[in-house]
Structure 1
Amino acid sequence: MQSINEKFVSGRNQPYLLGFLYRNFYRLVGIITDYISTESPISHKYLNHGALIELI
């Protein structure tokens, strides 16, 4: 009997996992670049007192 880890990371699930990781990484990079952008009003308006984390 295979353990849960062996079943989850088996060969047939790898394309699904890679796609999942790619999409999430792409979204995370998009959020970070939008936040860092100086043209983004939210990054400067809510930068104080940790209010940004409440919006996310």
Structure 2
Amino acid sequence: MNEDRLRSALAASAGDPEAFRVEMADLLGTAWDQELEPFRCAGDGATVRWLHRVS
């Protein structure tokens, strides 16, 4: 993440701490982390997600 993206997040939040938290979560890829978490702790009893090839 570069300086321009940080400045953009700060400007988009307009001084609202909650909006800034949301902007930072987006920049840090929190949504991706949440989606990938089941694959990090896979094992017996874990739910299975089938991945399909996209072309």
TM-score after normalising by structure 2: 0.34
Larger fraction in helix:
1
